[in-house]
Structure 1
Amino acid sequence: MEDRDPFDEMYEALGPELARPWPPISDDEEVPAKPKKAKRSKGDRPKGGAPCHLPVVRAAAGEVPRAIRETETLLLDAGTQIYTRAGSLVRPVTDTVPASKGRTTTIARFRSFCQPSLADHLARVIRYRRFDKRCEDWVDTNPPSDMIGAMLAREGEWRLPPVAGIITTPTLRPNGTLLATAGYDAETRLYLALDRDFALPPMSDHPTRLQAEQALQVLEDLLAGFPFVEPVDKAVALSGILTAVVRGTISVAPLHAIRAHSPGTGKSLLVDIASVIATGRQCPVIAAGKTEEETEKRLGALLCDAVAVVSIDNVNGELGGDMLCQMTERPLVRVRILGKSEAPELEVRSTVFATGNNLTLVGDMTRRTVLCTLDAKVERPELREFDFDPVERVMANRGAYVAAVMTIIRAYQAAGAPKVCGPIGSYGEWSAMVRAPLIWLGHADPVASMETAREEDPELSAIRELFGHWRKHLSIASGYTTNTVIKTACAKAAGSSFDYGNVDFIAPEFRDLLLRQAGDGGAVNSRRLGKWLGRIGGRVVDGSWIHVRVDGSHGNKFSLCETDAHAWEPPF
């Protein structure tokens, strides 16, 4: 009897619907072996890998420093647009945005790399390979994440070029040579993202004074409709135009403030003219924050993007602050990054404007600002009619106005840079490229407007008032504590009523001054007064200053001293 497979009897009992799913295997039939994966031959690479013509960097465990060195070398050889700025690796980003009447213009900024974006850029120019043990050969791979993380964190050790700023319009180097080639300029460390529609007309490398006067007239014609109060106000407006074009190559430049008594006088339009010539677009504006800290955050964000022109619009009242002072006098500024405990150093290459009705500069901003005042002397200045639109005139032939700026500066340099003005603090480069050429061509000195701003400084007025009251009610060169000063200013006349509304003070103006500077609930606060006197101590105003004698036991003493043309000894 033929032997039967016991599984056959089991499936017959279960019924035909559960018939055996596979045929029986006879003793002489071989079980098919599992197919083996074909071995990749040497030199093969995965489909879709990096192009073979790209240079190769081999990624191996424990060799991250070598891979970074080779990567940086290949990036430098390829001229890749990866730069270092403020402790980060950055790349230029350009956008085409609408201008006016259907025109477009190029705007540019810097964008910091993160791990995915750096991996993307590296894979475009470098072929990374790792060793595959299965095929015993080197195969293509993505840029290693550990290498990218280490590369991003290599601040201070990068060999990639540092970049100071980004511009979209050709400019002049400090030596007068033209920077007009798109890309990175090693001499100035600027990146020029050239607007494709921009073209410079032919220019002389050594223009004459006559050519400079003609170029200046081209710029002055744009300002024909502005109601400047004094010649110095027009000089400041021209200074703003020249500064905006060459600011990228100047380490520091003063703030240009434009004020008027009424809205609609043309303050913002004046800034737009400078911005359109320098960047090809009207100037985006920011508002001053309600607090100094808020303004600092807004300015810091613009510095991080390397914005070419900054305009603080419609300032109400006083303008000052530490951040604004630093931006207009220091080439390097530390900016706190929002959401991070970081304060990288940024190079400032922005032209800073501020506009406002009855704008007043306070503190150190008076010597960091050139001031332009407009006054149309009409009730509704915004209803005035003009013969042309200066912004449209510039956009129709922007290259001609950029060339006019360059001609003015080059002609002054070609004439031997004659000395036409004295030094001005930190602004030596700006004075040589902007201020001196304007004076050389017959305009007023823009720096003369600083004296106007200084005279209007509320703190300076308060110091003068203090010195006057001090001479009248206290002794010169005698030391007084803050309590003694307060007692003198708040002394009451003999026989006066103690009723608050009927008190007769001997020196009511002196008391009012101290209340404005150190008032606290209707009384003068001794601590606040001491801080104010200490802050203004040593500042010479009209030949006098406050001397502070520190005394930890009995309280600091303050005295008013007069300037001696010869030697001076402390009064204590």
Structure 2
Amino acid sequence: MDRDTTPLTDNKAGGREVYNSGRYLTITGHRLPGSPDTINEANKTGFDRFYANLKAAKKKVSRPLNKKAKVAQSELSKLKKVTPESGLSDIQIQQMAGEKHGEKYVFARYSNLEESDKKKSETDLSFCCLLSPWCDSPTHLARMLKDYRKRPKTQEREDYLLRTAEKAFNERRYYYDPILKKLQPISSLITANDRLKISDTSGGRSQIQVNDNSLDDLTDATFRAILKRYENNPEFFVRHGKLVRVNQDEKGHSFIEEITEDSMRWISCRAADFIKVTPGGEICKVHPPTLMVKSLLALGGWDGIPHLTGLIQSPIIHLDGHITMVRGYDEVSEFYYDPGPALELPDIPEAPTKEEIQEAVSFLCEPFIDFPFYDDETSKGAELNCSSFCNVIACLLSVTCRNLINGPVPMLFVSKPTMGTGSSKIAEIISQISTGAPLNVFQQQKNDEEWRKSITTKISSGPPFVVIDNAEGKVHSQYLSALLTLSVWRDRILGQSKDAAFPHNSVWMVNGNNIRLGGDLPRRCYPCRLDAQEAQPWERDNFKHKDVIKWTVDNRGGLLASILTIVRGWIHAGCPGWNRPEGVKPLGGFEAWSNVVGGILSYAGFTGFLKNQQVMYQQIDSDSLQWDGFFEVWYEKFGEKSITVNELVKQLISEEEEYTAQRVFDGSNTTGIESYLLDTLPEMVTGIPLQKQAFKVKLGSALARCNGRVFPSGYMLTQDGEKKRAKKWKVVLKIRKEAQNEERRERGESRTCGIVEKTEAFQGIESQIKREEGSNETTIFS
């Protein structure tokens, strides 16, 4: 084996081959006996003689080119200097052909190149047919055949190249659409012909002739004109199968709305001029045809229009540390960024130092410094170890960094003992920082049907942050519970007989005075407690920021810069995970949120994230507490005996009658009465007289929902066979918690109580007594 460095002008002829580039030599490692095991420098005389014989074999009399071949040669030379209209390079064309045809393309590209190979011309034609959809002309295809199928005939016969390329080009069934960036049937190719007139005007818009043309042609031409008009600055999007756009109200705040027939007509007018040619040849401008506009909305799919995940109104930071600060559509996250009016953002350090992180944390705490966050006496105020404060910062991070959280986000639950403590102001601060807009308020609804309708209306506009402000009593909705874990909300459109789907990326918050959570909401929320420990907290005046909302608005840019500095530092550090304190677990169903937000907070030094979660489960989950007390009395009365719902109702009615006979009124209290099931009946099954069949149905359904569930005191309801086709139920003590019960008795706590529905006889006695006392108040059994 010899090697040499002589420059080469010819490579192959007369059965000899020599290369200095573009080829690889594969060595198996298994040498023939007696063969050398070294690579030597070539003998100069020997190599010169070898190469001279190769060049001699290469020389032959050149045949003159005919006229057609000369034209082809001229076109080929020109095409090498022209960029194809598709915008694809030769490498991109080969990659696309390889992805589509696989081994078939590899065979056509590399096979049958030797002079001894048969079917060389057939392989050339096959190669051209595979590439033809992505090429703009036969000459373009011929050049690629010459460059990538190198053999004597393709290098010397320009007429052969053009003839082969023309045949493949004319037989193609698809072409590459540079706007849609995909292959389209050749039958859909729109050109300037007798059927449809399209031309560019000076304003960059297309001109489309509408008369004497099919609806399909008009729709396709208009759609292509729209894509061309908005290619570099998309203003409308596909959002879960619907065409939408980002609109603004009179104050410059953005929202998402579905594109209607009227808005599509306006979009079409901006993209193209529609004309009509009269029989006399006169050109008249006309409005977009109504049927064509409806056809555009009915297209479905809308290839080429970007997908919209949601609306975000704070700068978008990506996991590579890049920050999108220009208003418009972000292709990476698929969010539309609208910073709101007049946002001035300071410079964000590329790799924040420890001192810069600490400075950012300190400034981020400023707007919350005057609020009375309270976990207990050792954990309160705007301190990094206070769980209530850390959870508020977690809510703020959830809104501003929503694109980093690949999953649902739980609802922040803010509770306080009295009005004027500041929960609404906290919500307003979060809204002003994250969206630059006032609070987006959602009213508490009276029943599930109203919850469903209101949620659909609110979610349709894609708000980043929603607050259920000043809720009262018990917050309980199966639809709100479901929404918090869904990425897509589906519901019937009000007033129409069709369903709609809306992506859900909103972050939710609820606040109120000593409100409770029912159903599945407790495990889908994280708590914050405010307690000023004053009778009239609204009269406080010892604030560092007298008008904290105005201060927040004036410093929004700096607050957002602090958040972005912390998050960029976390990303630069490798996105470390959440450093969970002992006993604290990620929120079930929200693991992605717990890990991202918990990781950022841990990196910034916040140590109280979710530490108060178990306290919320024990104190705020009203349904669990009420059923726990009810099953405790059940166990005291029946032990592990199995009873039917009918037998349970008879016991309740018996207690009610005994209760009526023994009740001694002393203001609003009762004395001398032992524990009754009636006392602890959960309020979700009250509201119907005990004697009604509807009460039995309601109670039976409620018991079925509690089947197999272990409650805090260790009691569990379980089904135990049937009696005359009626289910039998029993309560068992699954887990004994003697220490917990003893501690509860020492604190003087009583069982959970509900509102009891009284019989007509008892109501008559009660009314008579109240009339004598001049009282109109409702009696609550406690």
* TM-score band, normalised by shorter chain: 0.7 to 0.9
8 Å Cα contact 1:473/1:488 also seen in 2: no
* Cα distance change on mapping 1:341 and 1:449 into 2, 3 Å: farther
**SS state at 1:557 partner:** strand
Which 10-residue stretch deviates more, 385-394 or 501-510? 501-510
Q: Displacement of 1:503 after TM fit?
A: 8.3
Partner of 2:218: 67
* 2:614 counterpart of 1:454: no
Q: Displacement of 1:321 after TM fit?
A: 0.9
* 2:261 counterpart of 1:110: no
Can you list the C-alpha shifts for 1:70-113, whole angstroms capped at 9, x where unaligned?
3333323332412122543222112452xxxxxxxx31012322
**SS state at 1:281 partner:** coil
Can you list the C-alpha shifts for 1:350-374, whole angstroms capped at 9, x where unaligned?
2212121112122211111111111
Aligned with 2:445 (options 281, 289, 293): 289
Matches within 5 A, 1:420-569: 420-421=579-580, 422-455=585-618, 456-476=620-640, 479-488=642-651, 500-502=660-662, 508-514=675-681, 516-519=683-686, 520-523=688-691, 525-542=695-712, 543-548=714-719, 554-561=725-732
Report how many residues are paired.
505
Partner of 1:81: 235
* 2:491 counterpart of 1:341: no
**SS state at 2:274 partner:** strand
Q: 1:499, 1:327 → 2: CA distance?
A: 43
Can you list the C-alpha shifts for 1:204-238, whole angstroms capped at 9, x where unaligned?
23324443232111111221111111211111221
Unaligned runs of 5+ in 2: 1-193, 195-199, 376-385, 665-671, 736-782
8 Å Cα contact 1:253/1:430 also seen in 2: yes
8 Å Cα contact 1:252/1:349 also seen in 2: yes
Partner of 2:247: 93
Q: 1:392, 1:499 → 2: CA distance?
A: 58
Partner of 2:65: none
Q: 1:91, 1:286 → 2: CA distance?
A: 23
Which 10-residue stretch deviates more, 365-374 or 466-475? 466-475
Q: 1:447, 1:90 → 2: CA distance?
A: 37
After TM superposition, the score normalised by the length of structure 1 is 0.80
* Cα distance change on mapping 1:218 and 1:345 into 2, 3 Å: same
**SS state at 2:471 partner:** coil
* Cα distance change on mapping 1:513 and 1:196 into 2, 3 Å: closer
Q: 1:350, 1:67 → 2: CA distance?
A: 39
Q: Displacement of 1:331 after TM fit?
A: 1.3
* Cα distance change on mapping 1:315 and 1:60 into 2, 3 Å: same
Q: 1:374, 1:212 → 2: CA distance?
A: 27
After TM superposition, the score normalised by the length of structure 2 is 0.59
**SS state at 1:148 partner:** helix
**SS state at 1:149 partner:** helix
Q: 1:383, 1:391 → 2: CA distance?
A: 17
Q: Displacement of 1:249 after TM fit?
A: 5.0
Can you list the C-alpha shifts for 1:436-466, whole angstroms capped at 9, x where unaligned?
3223434344333332332121110122123
Q: Displacement of 1:176 after TM fit?
A: 4.3
Q: Displacement of 1:544 after TM fit?
A: 4.5
Partner of 1:149: 294
**SS state at 1:512 partner:** helix
Matches within 5 A, 1:167-316: 167-173=312-318, 176-195=321-340, 197-230=342-375, 231-247=386-402, 250=405, 251-316=407-472
* Cα distance change on mapping 1:434 and 1:53 into 2, 3 Å: closer
Q: 1:329, 1:179 → 2: CA distance?
A: 28
**SS state at 2:238 partner:** strand
Matches within 5 A, 1:309-458: 309-385=465-541, 386-388=543-545, 389-416=547-574, 417-421=576-580, 422-455=585-618, 456-458=620-622
8 Å Cα contact 1:319/1:360 also seen in 2: yes
Report the aligned-residue RMSD: 3.2
Opposite residue 219 of structure 2, the aligned amino acid is I
Unaligned runs of 5+ in 1: 1-42, 44-48, 98-105, 565-572
8 Å Cα contact 1:308/1:350 also seen in 2: yes
Q: Displacement of 1:537 after TM fit?
A: 1.4
Matches within 5 A, 1:46-57: 53-57=204-208
**SS state at 1:124 partner:** helix
Can you list the C-alpha shifts for 1:292-318, whole angstroms capped at 9, x where unaligned?
333433332221111222111111111
Q: 1:518, 1:195 → 2: CA distance?
A: 48
Q: 1:533, 1:406 → 2: CA distance?
A: 49
* Cα distance change on mapping 1:516 and 1:430 into 2, 3 Å: closer
Opposite residue 593 of structure 2, the aligned amino acid is W
Can you list the C-alpha shifts for 1:132-178, whole angstroms capped at 9, x where unaligned?
4x135775432221111122123445542221222332132355432
8 Å Cα contact 2:586/2:595 also seen in 1: no
Matched-pair identity in % = 23
**SS state at 2:412 partner:** strand
Where relative contact order (Cα < 8 A, 6+ residues apart) is larger, the structure is 1
Q: 1:433, 1:326 → 2: CA distance?
A: 22
Q: Displacement of 1:407 after TM fit?
A: 1.9
Q: 1:492, 1:147 → 2: CA distance?
A: 73
**SS state at 1:288 partner:** coil
Which 10-residue stretch deviates more, 369-378 or 194-203? 194-203
Opposite residue 281 of structure 1, the aligned amino acid is A
**SS state at 1:448 partner:** coil
* Cα distance change on mapping 1:489 and 1:176 into 2, 3 Å: farther
* Cα distance change on mapping 1:277 and 1:419 into 2, 3 Å: closer
Q: 2:227, 2:579 → 1: CA distance?
A: 45
Q: 2:209, 2:507 → 1: CA distance?
A: 46
* Cα distance change on mapping 1:547 and 1:156 into 2, 3 Å: farther
8 Å Cα contact 1:366/1:450 also seen in 2: no
Which 10-residue stretch deviates more, 500-509 or 426-435? 500-509
Q: Displacement of 1:329 after TM fit?
A: 1.9
8 Å Cα contact 1:93/1:108 also seen in 2: yes
**SS state at 1:188 partner:** coil
Q: 2:430, 2:521 → 1: CA distance?
A: 21
* Cα distance change on mapping 1:295 and 1:131 into 2, 3 Å: same
8 Å Cα contact 1:254/1:427 also seen in 2: yes
8 Å Cα contact 2:655/2:676 also seen in 1: no
Aligned with 2:265 (options 114, 119, 125): 119
